[in-house]
Amino acid sequence: MSGGATPTLSVDASNKSLTPPTAAVQRDPSDIEGRIRDKIERNPVDILAYLELVQYYESRDAFEDSRKIYTELHNKFPFYSPLWTLQLKGELQRDEFKVVERLLAECLSGEKANNDLQLWSTYLDYVRRTNNLITGGQEARAVVMKAFQLVMEKCAVFEPRSSSFWSEYLGFLEQWKPVNKWEDQQRIDMIRRLYKRMLCVPFESIEKNWNRYTQWEQEVNSLTARKFIGELSPDYMKARSLYQEWSQLTRGLRRSPPSSLSTANKNTIPSIDEELDPNQLRIWLRWIEWEKENKLGLENEMLQSRILYVYKQGIQHMLFAAEMWYDYAMFISDATERCQILSTAVRANPTSPSLTFKLAECYELDNKYDLVQKCFEDCTQSLLREYHLMLASENEFRIYKQKKKMTFVNCIYMNTMKRLSGLSAARSVFGKCRKLKNNLTHDIYIENAYLEFQNQNDYKTACKVLELGLKYFQEDAAYINKYMDFLIVINKDSQIKTLFETSVEKLKDLEGLRSIYKKMISYESKFGTLNNVYSLEKRFFERFPHENLIEVFADRYRVQDENLIKQLELTYMNDDKYSETDDMLSSSLKRSRGSQANGQSHKKMKRGPAVPNEIIDLLAIIPKRQYFKAALLDPQNLVTYLNEQVELPPPSHV
């Protein structure tokens, strides 16, 4: 940090997060509201619990209470458009137009500006309801047309699944009944402009709309039809090709937000409790990279808008994926806006280390040191709250992982405070961590010891810290190993031997004990005497009589942590990582084999996938399409129903 004196930051020693959350109150089964609020208190980012409370209030006509819950949700998840859409639809059903107008202004502009087709479609519904064409005439029609134009430019031209919008816009223009030839020509020009705009956009049903357009041109004027169709054909062919490419790229992408409160469930609303699907995240990131290639040949401003649209869609569906938020924030060049995005990301993901660290960096660059401290305090408190709740589950793996996460964040917190405000601030953080005792892993003691040593070359304080940690981790082989490594670095021979002798009698973990013996044998081999080595080896083989003699011998002749005897002579025993030469040879072989395999698989792919017999049987018995004059089943509604209402059972393990 350059210039000026080092700022002094006070680290409050009384950390509220050190107090475990109070046990859940035993509520009466009829106290539905209380039980839902308990659920929210346990998990403050559980969107479904909030919506459950909204449904409870609305079922009792307590609409002011439901609005307060929505406000909480919007403050916590301002860019999650389905929440705005659900509230707006409910308010429109109750004809609360003033509330709708206020909400639309809040969610479509300013800091909370969303960009989502369902949300914009709700805006269109509001405009059409408040501008009656029968009573409003030309003025009302002009307002509605401006609204359609706005939605098209803001959102629809970027959305591959926008066929419903284009159909609605076309339907609106086609329903216009002109009163004279001038109006009729105006309507034709508007429809033609809309087709030209629409058929340059890669979206579903583009082929169907192209056929509709060519037929329309023939009906308007068969003499000019060929000219207009020929002018638009190259752009249409490009858009159709790009949509097909996009479809292949995003195959398997799940985008099914709830259409109403009743369809809000874990299939349609993201949940932090559900494990992140890495395949879905990869598809979103692939889509974004595809957009950045600018295959549509857009100007820079339009390209940026298109990429931003996909990012905003991505953070909705990957709401609890830190990488999606991080990528979105890093795409933004403006530092203030980036900081706002990261702040929103942390509100949705309060226990995310990566987002917390990045937000803290942004505040640090702006010299907002109090906000840096608040970032870490909020994250550690959220992690500790989760940890206390996990203790009841008795899932040892999850509990240990949470301890590791808490320790990691506190280590970075401590180092950051040292960088910003000096050693005293770092010691204050460590002091709070000490109160947690063995609720953190041993890494906090190791990290603090190195911090003390690096700061003032003060090995005495560092050793005191490590001795303090020994009270809680004297049976932790990993801690003993790291303690020994530190003592070896500072060359404290007597302390190394003392630590070794006191530890080998207490350790019950045989694998850990084996590693400590080998470390001590290696140390004596390099810095001690051969007699000491033989004495240690004798004790080692008494404890582990089945160990391979030459392996133990080779292990103490490691150079820079490489067992070169195994690599160069006893190659048949080598289970260490490859040398650089081996690695280069291996990579070369893999590349050549991979290219051959790709060539063969490419040939196989040309044959096309085999169609299952069940599909062939079904196609053989269903009637041909020419027997049906109109569609009997709307496929889009069927897909929506399956996504929102049908929950597939988990696959059975054979």
Query: Coil, strand, or helix at residue 279?
Result: helix
Asked if 355 contacts 325 with a C-beta cutoff of 8 angstroms, the reply is yes
Mean pLDDT, residues 118-128 taken together? 96
| Within-domain flag for 152 | yes
Q: How many CB atoms lie within 10 A of CB 579?
A: 14
What are the helix (H) ranges across 79-162?
Answer: 81-93, 97-107, 117-130, 133-154
Q: Is the pLDDT of residue 426 over 60?
A: yes
CATH number at residue 98: 1.25.40.1040
The per-residue pLDDT of the chain, averaged, comes to: 88
Tokens standing for residue 627: 């027997």
Percent of the chain with pLDDT over 90: 72
Q: Is the pLDDT of residue 4 over 50?
A: no
Q: Is the pLDDT of residue 10 over 50?
A: no
Say how far apart CA 30 and CA 195 lie, in whole Å. 57
Asked if 319 contacts 76 with a C-beta cutoff of 8 angstroms, the reply is no
| Within-domain flag for 477 | no
Q: Is the pLDDT of residue 535 over 90?
A: yes
**133 vs 347 pLDDT, higher one:** 347
Q: Provide the phi-psi class of 95: left if phi over 0, else alpha when psi is between -120 and 50, else beta.
A: left
- Angle formed by the axes of helices 32-42 and 47-59, nearest 10°: 160
Tokens standing for residue 468: 């303090």
pTM for this prediction:
0.83
Tokens standing for residue 113: 């500006």
Domain tally for the chain?
A: 2
| Within-domain flag for 255 | no
Which pLDDT value is given to residue 493? 93
| Within-domain flag for 58 | yes
Let me know if 353 is exposed, middle or buried by CB neighbors in 10 A (0-12, 13-18, 19+). Answer: middle
Beta-carbon contacts of 515 under 8 Å, excluding residues fewer than 6 positions away, are 477, 481
Q: Is the pLDDT of residue 52 over 60?
A: yes
pLDDT in tens, 255-309: 999 999 999 999 999 998 888 999 999 999 999 999 999 999 999 999 999 999 9
Q: Facing residues of 562 across strands?
A: 559
DSSP annotation of 124? H
Let me know if 276 is exposed, middle or buried by CB neighbors in 10 A (0-12, 13-18, 19+). Answer: middle
**323 vs 31 pLDDT, higher one:** 323
| Within-domain flag for 413 | no
Which pLDDT value is given to residue 36? 94
Which pLDDT value is given to residue 650? 57
| Within-domain flag for 63 | yes
Confidence class for position 17, pLDDT limits 50, 70, 90: very low
Q: How many CB atoms lie within 10 A of CB 529?
A: 10
Tokens standing for residue 567: 């690599």
Which pLDDT value is given to residue 13? 40
pLDDT in tens, 200-242: 999 999 999 999 999 999 999 989 999 999 999 999 999 999 9
Say how far apart CA 149 and CA 146 lie, in whole Å. 5
Which pLDDT value is given to residue 425? 95
* Domain closes at, from 216, 250, 284: 250
Q: Is the pLDDT of residue 319 over 80?
A: yes
Which pLDDT value is given to residue 28? 80
**644 vs 391 pLDDT, higher one:** 391
DSSP annotation of 276? P
Say how far apart CA 264 and CA 454 lie, in whole Å. 54
pLDDT in tens, 575-624: 654 444 455 444 544 444 554 555 554 444 444 557 787 777 777 777 77
Beta-carbon contacts of 186 under 8 Å, excluding residues fewer than 6 positions away, are 178
Range of the domain at 579: 561-588
* Domain closes at, from 191, 222, 250: 250
The separation between the first and the last C-alpha atoms of the chain, rounded to the nearest angstrom, is 59
| Within-domain flag for 182 | yes
Which pLDDT value is given to residue 25? 63
Tokens standing for residue 15: 């950390």
| Within-domain flag for 271 | no
* Domain closes at, from 208, 233, 250: 250
